[in-house]
Amino acid sequence: MSQHRVFFMVPPKVQLLDMTGPAHIFYEANDYGVHIPAHYLSLGTSIEEISGAGVLLGNLEPFHTYELGPNDFLFIPGLESDLIKKNDFIQSIEPFFEWLRKQHANGAKICSVCTGAYLLAFANLFNERECTTHWRYLEDFQTKFPKTKVLSDRLIVKDDSLYSSAGVSSGIDLAMFVLEELYGPVLVTKIAKEVVIYLRRTESDPQLSVFLQYRNHIDTRIHQVQDMLAQNLSTKSTIEEVAESVFMSSRNLTRLFKKTTGITIGEYVEKLRVERAIQMLTSGSKVSAAASACGLQSPNQLRSLLKKHTTSLPSDWRE
């Protein structure tokens, strides 16, 4: 029996990518030795549902068939907004809300994608919890559920065993986030390459921990700048050149980057260099080669940088 299981709720008028995106990431993980059985659940007793795009989804199992525990993940994708606004629909799925609260009490990890956050909120699971949803619904969500702590401009939010993501393709990012927590960044990097996710997770990112800490936002221009910086560490670019690449002034880019990520461009580049250098040095590269790959002028400059940022340095440096 596998240590972990993943469940995908399939509500009426489900948003296809919200569900199939994360499901495909777990499917790809199987090719790398991660065997996590997937189950697809309906909100009632039906074994079929029609997606918001009109595609019929079958072979579903009623949600109450299963009891979940600490090793299980439940993804709840978004659904058409007209259903969320119907009181009779919300009242009709109260048994699901009761089941959901029980699974949460059992320690199951529950992950919402896009407007799937509404279902967790209707079940009162997000009370006094941090969460997010699609940007278009942030204001409505906060108004409907004043006890929640809604975070804007966040791709993924984790609060204890509850996960939420901004919407649509961010469900893919959330699945990758979960897999990295379970199996580490090496596996996730391989899956990202397999499914050609290059905007937010690239092979050039030194480590996904840096990516997750400073790329948990939805500003496309800043993502482009971060891609450019990570992929061109060996090349020195001026702030003016970087700003021009995203059609911004250097002053505006400097301000927006700090506001969006919480650190300056210079601090971010230093962190990328540290991650890249340690990765190369622990793999047996010479100090001079690591310094050059990180865009530094000398091994001494690299040593100074590493001493500034970490107390754990490779012991077998090669000059």
Q: Which domains does the chain have, with CATH numbers?
A: 5-182 (3.40.50.880), 198-319 (1.10.10.60)
Pairwise CA distance, residues 297 & 312, whole Å? 22
Look at residue 311 in the predicted model and tell me its pLDDT: 55
Pairwise CA distance, residues 118 & 242, whole Å? 39
Look at residue 210 in the predicted model and tell me its pLDDT: 59
Instruction: Count other Cβ atoms within 10 Å, centred on residue 298.
Output: 12
Beta bridge partners of 163: 111, 158
274 contacts: CB under 8 Å, gap ≥ 6: 305, 306, 309, 310
Look at residue 143 in the predicted model and tell me its pLDDT: 96
**Assigned token pair, 70:** 């600490």
Tens-digit pLDDT profile for the chain (319 aa)? 358 999 999 999 999 999 999 999 999 999 999 999 999 999 988 899 999 999 999 999 999 999 999 999 999 999 999 999 999 999 999 999 999 999 999 999 999 999 999 999 999 999 999 999 998 899 999 999 999 999 887 788 999 999 999 877 889 989 998 998 898 877 887 888 788 764 443 333 333 445 456 777 778 899 889 888 988 888 888 999 999 999 999 999 999 999 999 999 999 999 888 888 887 887 678 889 989 999 998 989 888 888 887 654 555 455 5
Look at residue 185 in the predicted model and tell me its pLDDT: 75
CB 121 within 8 A of CB 141: yes
